[in-house]
């Protein structure tokens, strides 16, 4: 199943119909989520393999943030992998985040490999830092 099969799903085309104008934002996003879940349900993890270049970026960023978590008394949340979702990432919770000296260059190299990086300060709690890297897994037929 490829991404174009999403258009065959009755939910997705309905999101772009005249009737969709009557949906509020929450209903529209919910319908989009159901269409995406239907797409994922049609895929099998076994049909995907690791993309070595992207997995290397994930490993490099994990190593860097694990070092930061240890240095500042934080922790990395358990990593769940779902190849059919194709991306990889993790979240760390850390009381503070400071990059100094040689770490600045390393940090810049790490973030260049990320597709997304989110810093989320939470009152009276550690900072959450979430990462995402696209295409850590790809369909088997895309890598020769």
In order, the DSSP letters of 89-115 are EEEEEES-----THHHHHHHHHHHT-S
CA dihedral for 130, 135, 138, 143, sign (positive or negative): negative
Q: What is the pLDDT of residues 66-115, one digit of tens each?
A: 999 999 999 998 777 788 888 899 999 999 899 999 999 999 999 999 99
Residue-wise pLDDT for 26-72, tens only, equals 877 787 778 777 777 787 888 889 999 999 999 999 999 999 999 99
- The predicted pLDDT at position 111 comes to 95
Q: How far apart are CA 120 and CA 93, in angstroms?
A: 9
74, two tokens: 């934080």
Higher-pLDDT residue of 92, 5? 92
């Amino acid at each position: 199943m490829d991404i174009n099969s999403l258009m065959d799903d009755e939910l997705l085309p309905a999101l772009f119909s005249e009737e969709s104008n009557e949906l509020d934002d929450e209903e529209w996003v919910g319908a989009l989520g159901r269409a995406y879940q239907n797409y994922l349900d049609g895929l099998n993890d076994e049909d995907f393999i690791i993309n070595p270049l992207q997995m290397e970026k994930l490993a490099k960023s994990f190593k860097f943030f694990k070092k930061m978590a240890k240095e500042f008394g934080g922790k990395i949340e358990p990593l769940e992998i779902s190849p059919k979702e194709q991306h990889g990432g993790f979240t760390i919770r850390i009381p503070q985040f400071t990059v100094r000296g040689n770490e600045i260059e390393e940090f810049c190299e790490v973030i260049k490999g990320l597709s997304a990086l989110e810093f989320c300060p939470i009152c009276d709690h550690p900072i959450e830092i979430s990462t995402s890297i696209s295409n850590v897994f790809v369909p088997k037929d895309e890598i020769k």
